[in-house]
Amino acid sequence: QVQLVESGGGLVQPGGSLRLSCAASGFSLANYVIGWFRQAPGQEREGINFINNRDNDIYYIDSVKGRFTVSRDNAENTVYLQMNSLKPEDTAVYYCAAGPVATILSDYYAVWGQGTQVTVSS
């Protein structure tokens, strides 16, 4: 019953944009930190950003800073990741996760989505 579901991935050309959604059921996202992670084939999972429960602590790793924007809509119980100026190196499966502390470290997140594929290619 406690579940996160990502959506919005797909194939996009370099320089294009995608908007990912992370919808929660069985619990309220308003009470948790939400992190976004990605994993490319043959590589370890990489934390890319988080947003805390009060939207007053938002962090992005340098490689996505200025291109990705995270936001939450508590009424919809959904967190969004707007991805602009996409590069081929952004290609990965993207995951959202919920946890109790503001961190990019994946071990602190308890609930994970199934992932959505993002492919950036010409």
Do the Cβ atoms of 1 and 25 come closer than 8 Å?
yes
Residue 44's pLDDT is what?
Answer: 95
- C-alpha span between 61 and 59 (Å, rounded): 7
CA dihedral of residues 51, 14, 112, 26 (deg, nearest 10): 70
Residue 49's pLDDT is what?
Answer: 96
- What's the number of CA atoms in the CB half-sphere (13 Å) around residue 65? 6
- C-alpha span between 2 and 27 (Å, rounded): 6
- C-alpha span between 114 and 107 (Å, rounded): 16
- What's the number of CA atoms in the CB half-sphere (13 Å) around residue 11? 2
Residue 55's pLDDT is what?
Answer: 84
36 three-state secondary structure: strand
Do the Cβ atoms of 20 and 83 come closer than 8 Å?
yes
**Tens-digit pLDDT string for the chain (122 aa):** 899 999 999 999 999 999 999 999 999 999 999 999 999 999 999 999 999 988 889 999 999 999 999 999 999 999 999 999 999 999 999 999 999 999 999 999 999 999 999 999 99
Do the Cβ atoms of 21 and 71 come closer than 8 Å?
no
Do the Cβ atoms of 36 and 48 come closer than 8 Å?
yes
